[in-house]
Amino acid sequence: MSNPFIHPNVTDAMLQSVARKTDAVVNVLRAAASEFQPIAFASSMGPEDMVLTDLIQRHGIDIDIFTLDTGRLPAETYELMARADKHYGMRPVTFFPRHEAVEEYVRKHGVNGFYDSVELRKACCAMRKVEPLKRALAGKKAWITGMRAQQSATRAELPVRQFDESHDIEKFNPLSDWTERDVWVYIQSNQVPYNALHEQFYPSIGCQPCTRAISPGEDIRAGRWWWENPESKECGLHVKA
């Protein structure tokens, strides 16, 4: 069954609204790149990040693009990486977790120890995402994210620009006021590549063991760390110190 939410019946009004929001995002990206160099965009290959990748490449904005490979991503995410490489003729720099940390974690807690407690899940995220992100941002003056305020309770008050105390760096969230529909109107009208799992009701995709499909009416991030309360559903990449 096709997912109707990612195939919206696009109207002229919707296109005009997204066009206005797109102009605003491009202005934010250009201003950020002009004020801060070097600057980087952290792509998780999600739909929002594919929108930003498309805009950065389409408008030739001087922003580096990198991604984090946790080592436990779904096969469909790797397939998207390969398709995006060909589509845009560029390959983001990829950062991996330290193998020593992964080996120690598995020895102590097991290969799926993150299911046992919120603390162990966050420790896994810290090892596979947070530490590689610190290396990716080393020496950067600012970074761009694809976060949206509508995504979850932990992101409800999300500014377009903020100072990230955790990484001591300026941070921009250009899609903060975009809706899920805005994202998919842009993707469909601009032929932007996206993860095949979205067709199977996976609106938010992280590591394979920590992501499931959702049912109609569920929150869009209900499939991420589904065994936890909504208030704890962050991996540590976007939590203030």
Please give the Cα distance from 23 to 82 (Å, whole number).
Answer: 28
Tell me whether residue 125 is one of the annotated catalytic residues.
no
Residue with tokens 């309770």: 153
Beta strands in the chain (DSSP E): 39-43, 64-68, 93-95, 142-144, 161-164, 169-172
Please report, in angstroms and rounded to a whole number, the separation of the first and last CA atoms in the chain.
Answer: 43
Please give the Cα distance from 232 to 89 (Å, whole number).
Answer: 37
The answer to whether the peptide bond before residue 38 is cis (omega within 30 degrees of 0) is yes
Residue with tokens 């903020």: 162
Question: Do residues 159 and 236 lie in contact, with contact meaning Cβ atoms separated by under 8 Å?
Answer: no
Q: Which of 124, 207, 210, 235 is catalytic?
A: 235
Question: Do residues 96 and 69 lie in contact, with contact meaning Cβ atoms separated by under 8 Å?
Answer: yes
- Residues labelled catalytic: 235
